[in-house]
Structure 1
């Protein structure tokens, strides 16, 4: 901040002293205009620039010595375009008469009208004002020997300290900034500046306004600044008090075509000798967003270090997005994102940012912790965050529970990670921990959640635990390697003593099984999308359900139907109000190949039966293709004898999908040579016209799917029905 001020003040001082030469000459001459050649020659000799005085020089002598000039032009530096460095349409300078008797110069007022500065940086990075701010430019106001030149404006500073300016006024000034080094040009116009008496080491009130516009853009910035400004004679210590800066950006691409931001600072100070600065009472406001802070820093150079405390008052992110013409996402909760507040202690360098004591209030959630970023060019991120309660579902798009695919926390996390562009994952360098006391996501209520992330050089690993997962626990970890063309995935998961019914009720709105679940899985896959990863999954899993029931499936009813068929009796009227099959345990292990689960050792134990099963489950389309073989328990096990089962099993085919399974009795499996005689006996009893009519009517009333099943039984039942008809 000090260096630009030093440059600007030095340039202004040079312009002031150019006019001072005019005043010094005019004070003792009858016709100052006759000395224009001597004045321009002196400027040429001192700074090697051409000064052109086009208008007349007018004088006044009492009570102040005043001089008024017309248009003045100062040529550009050598090597730059022929456009003038500066032009001035009109100037007026008044010098107090009495201080001159004490060899002091006191300017009671300066008015510069129509000043135009053409500032340029060439492709080599050289500025067209460098020759004006080099140490030897002080010779314009003092006879300095070459040996004294390296004192870095010592003479200029001494001369500046010998006079005071009563007031400085710029009217309708303009600055044209052309940067050939970067190709960016800026125009500052309508620049108006007023100050009160300018004296070193004393506060100076400043009122500044201008309009800024960059080339090739349709935006303008209107800037207004009021402050009290203090600078020392050495131009190396600056202080500001009660500063107010307002910037209004306007243009077609600006949200609502106009956006205003306001910065206020109670006190600010910067010192080159001590290499420090401090800002207190800082407030930045734009719309409903208000930021307050206190900042300080050391080493005001490329090794600068900054510290501060920042707080952001509560505001509505939804309203802010609307103010900035940002589309608000559709969320399940229309009241979400209506409150956000934040505070933190910050420390920063040009290469790093560290936030400590971070507190975030997001709607009803409280998040605390710390985070840091090192090396902005290739960011290395660390974080340690803790939240009390977080409802993620509030911020997600609406979704029907019944259409949500059943998945585990780690697989859900995998789907989320797979949506991140591969190039982003390759560059990701992050390590951190997140703990959440109470988390709601995908309609699941989780407590004591911990998440750890480590990502570097294209290898992303996570470890997540849920200590209270529906009366049980969950632990899992994920590894995603994106260093090659196709990402490689590895998943390990474990569920312990989880109550399945409330979990499914929350997740899908309907439970298809109850009981306590223990399960483990190890999976590997590869692909660029979630679908590709699911289709390529390989690995194994094992599970154990205990003391529960299968909802919507009444195994006893199916068995009773089989018995009735064999006995030739009407099955009992079904009570569908409580369709379920209680069980002691369901266990099994499965191998997974390319997204297809193969299981050959399913075991179901209930009070009356023991069932084994085998088949497949497709993770891609969630289709089931399973066969259950149910053995009726004849005698329970004793201390000396194992339990015994009836000779003829009941076979149940399981189909449908994960969310909507179907269960059908395999009637054909019941028709064996042993049962054939019994069925024939039943048929003989049905050989009456009345019973034949009943059978025909029953066949006509069969559902289409039952008729199809009957066709598959035709080879076994054909002869029996021939005997009947």
Structure 2
């Protein structure tokens, strides 16, 4: 028995020596470079690719099946002269005996200088789509024993046992991938790709590190990236994990206007294809000074993906962030957009994304609710927000230099008119203003509004808009296809209320605007006050208006303004306008006396002021102005030119005058002045109010002539009555009076 074992051992040893000798002979006596043409033909026939081997082929047989390719390229059979991939060197080796057990045990795999070019032509066809495809004229010979087997339709194939991988390491140096689309001219590149891994074993953690330079040409953007983590995969369960993932880098380019963005991302990534789930937990994001935490989960990967998760963005300076990425925001009030913070639950699909249960903090304001894009293709924006306070004025862009210069010129014109006016009213009537009061800067982003699909429902406890504090403000609006509808903008204003509806149609070349406004019991001075002057009038305003205009600037809208309005102003005061003194001056002229006293008050109170306006191309005409002042009734008609904020009014004042013993004798009203209408003329900048009013000398002369005629008629009546008495028929008396009155 011992002899048999000894003989068997010698036989096995002899076989091993023969195999080693055969391997030595094959690797030293057989040169694969002599069979490059056969290898190329085999690649055409079996892999349907054009393989070019410009460098040497190195190989080993046992115990490692080793292969080294140098300076090789691969092209499709349809375009054999244009390689889609080439490399400087590929080196790998596999243990021979484990291959018999369908186990791949490899040493280090090295790839040097891989260059992969992917192109889509003007017809939308990609060069990678032809990889592995035979030429259209090539048909397989069914009698060829080396031809690949054809599977009969419907015949089930026996499942193959997956190959077990065991690789010491994988290294890729200086690789490049390029994608070019001839239809759009866009190009995407990944250059200087460096990939290194540890031992590759299924079901075990595989450390990896990847660096690359990414770029695009439309727009020009360059980014340096680095990715590191621990990869684990299970091909049977179709489960892939990247643990302790760390992505970092820097980006620059045309959109960043010379600025650089530093970014990073961390977390645990999972793709479970058997459960149709993908997750990103422990998510950490950073871009310059912005920091965010969260988690993401996507279900139903194979049908209708559903996104859920959460996102929390720590407080940061939003204005500084946009400046840092080369997108400076328009100039606003100091401190605007200095604080931004967000916490939200995420929910989305392939076509939509919603920020649910949102808490958004912007400067001194806090909003809760929902912001969503229901359809990315239609830009369907949905807003449902509640806020505590919001000062909209601090976010309005600053005036342009052109507008600021125009405003300064107009203010100077108004100041000159006011300086020329004196309290006593002796100065000449102010000139009508000529300076435009409105900006011609572009007002609306028409192109973006035409593409907008929006539904907004906002509620704000305290809204500040154009300096007006609106309580419990509500805004409901919607827009689609270029038609935007303001369903309501309402709230409490001081002790009154305001409500506005309207439409904005941006479908035509010139935008069309229509507004309907109702104001109830709101102090009018808060609408018309300016920074440099006190309001010319005070009182509680009730207003109903229906206006329309067209254009894309303040100037164009005002110059095209048409519509109607009616107003009532109660319990009011004409500020810094002693209308009583103006009237006394008129009465003194009629009395042919000189006023002795000084004006006793600066303001003129009134009980009610009402009227209606008709707007035609920015000119507001009023024919029924009525003001009720104790002892006075004022009627007027004229125009307000909104284009230059100027007025031109003729006012008639019916007075009782001063009849007491303390009244100035020149201002006392006798019986013949009761009910007489005294004329005023008001002309000048609207900001001057009643300070722009003067006695109408021409009209006053007509009144004096009328009073003189009335006095003559009274004397004729007295003489007729004295001479004729009851001796003459009354009809004859009337005839005689008519004769003298002609």
Deviation at 1:451, TM superposition (A): 1.4
Contact 2:103/2:165 (<8 A) preserved: yes
User: In the aligned structure 2, how far is the partner of 1:416 from the partner of 1:389?
Assistant: 31
* 1:416 positional shift: 12
Q: Is the 8 A contact 2:250 2:263 kept in 1?
A: yes
1:27 and 1:65 in contact (8 A); partners too: no
Count how many residue pairs are aligned between Structure 1 and Structure 2.
629
The reply to whether residue 29 of structure 1 matches residue 20 of structure 2 is no
Question: Which whole-Å CA distance do the structure 1 matches of 2:285 and 2:443 have between them?
Answer: 36
The TM-score normalised by the length of structure 1 is 0.76
Of the candidates 574, 579, 584, which is equivalent to residue 555 of structure 1?
Answer: 579
Please say if residues 255 and 323 of structure 1, whose CA atoms lie closer than 8 Å, have aligned partners that are also in contact.
no
Alignment correspondent of 2:355: 355
- What SS is found at the alignment partner of 1:54? coil
Q: CA RMSD in A?
A: 4.1
SS in 2 for 1:147: coil
Cα contact 2:64–2:94 (8 A) shared by 1: yes
Judged with a 3 Å threshold, the aligned counterparts in structure 2 of structure 1 residues 103 and 379 are, in CA distance, closer, same or farther, namely closer
- TM superposition shift of 1:187: 3.8
Match of 2:562 in 1: 538
Q: What are the superposed Cα offsets for residues 358-388 of structure 1, whole Å, 9 maximum, x if unpaired?
A: 2221111112221333333333332222221
SS at match of 2:76: coil
- Mapping of residues 653-664 of structure 1, within 5 Å: 653-661=681-689, 662-664=692-694
CA distance in 2, matches of 1:582, 1:457: 51
- Kept after mapping to 2: 8 A contact 1:71/1:87: no
Distance 1:458 1:194 in 2: 54
Structure 2 gap segments, 5+ residues each: 1-19, 135-145, 414-437, 660-670, 712-742
* 2:79 is the alignment partner of 1:55: no
Does the C-alpha gap of structure 1 residues 481 and 180 become closer, same or farther in structure 2, counting only changes over 3 Å?
Answer: closer
Change (3 A) 1:589 1:69: closer
Counterpart position of 2:477: 453
Between Structure 1 and Structure 2, whose CA radius of gyration is higher?
2
SS at match of 1:329: coil
| Alignment partner, residue 650 of structure 1 | 678
On the 8 A contact 1:32/1:57 being kept in 2, the answer is no
Aligned match of 1:689: none
**Partner secondary structure for residue 585 of structure 2:** helix
Displacement of 1:527: 4.8
1:146 and 2:155 equivalent? no
Equivalent residues in 2 for 1:228-377, closer than 5 Å: 228-234=230-236, 236-251=238-253, 254-256=256-258, 258-264=260-266, 266-300=267-301, 303-331=304-332, 333-377=333-377
Q: Per-residue deviation at 1:208?
A: 0.8
3-state DSSP of counterpart to 1:516: strand
> Unpaired runs of 5+ in structure 1?
1-22, 135-141, 406-413, 637-642, 680-725
Report the alpha carbon displacement of residue 327 of structure 1 after superposing the two structures with TM. Answer: 3.5
* Secondary structure at 2:643 match in 1: coil
How far apart, in 2, do the equivalents of 1:422 and 1:181 lie?
Answer: 29
How does 1:197-236 map onto structure 2 within 5 Å?
A: 197-214=199-216, 219-234=221-236, 236=238
Q: Any conservation in 2 of the 1:444–1:507 contact (CA below 8 Å)?
A: no
Query: Which residue number corresponds to residue 699 of structure 1?
Result: none
Q: Which has the higher contact order (CA 8 A, sep 6+)?
A: 2
1:636-715 to 2 correspondence within 5 Å? Answer: 646-661=674-689, 662-671=692-701, 672-673=704-705
Shift of residue 163, structure 1, vs aligned partner: 3.0
Task: Tell me whether 480-489 or 496-505 shows the greater mean CA deviation.
Answer: 480-489
Alignment of 1:50-199 (within 5 A): 50=51, 52=53, 54-55=55-56, 57=58, 59=60, 65=64, 67=66, 69-71=68-70, 73-95=72-94, 104-121=103-120, 123=123, 125-128=125-128, 131=131, 145-147=149-151, 158-159=161-162, 161-180=163-182, 183-199=185-201
Stretch of structure 1 that moved more, 502-511 or 242-251: 502-511
The question of whether the paired residues in 2 share the 8 Å contact of 1:302 and 1:350 is answered with: no
SS in 2 for 1:534: helix
Partner of 1:617: 640
| 1:598 pairs with 2:621 | yes
Supply the distance in 2 between the matched residues of 1:463 and 1:367 (Cα, whole angstroms). 21
Shift of the alpha carbon at 1:496?
Answer: 0.8
How big is the shift at 1:209?
A: 1.2
Q: Is the 8 A contact 2:221 2:253 kept in 1?
A: yes
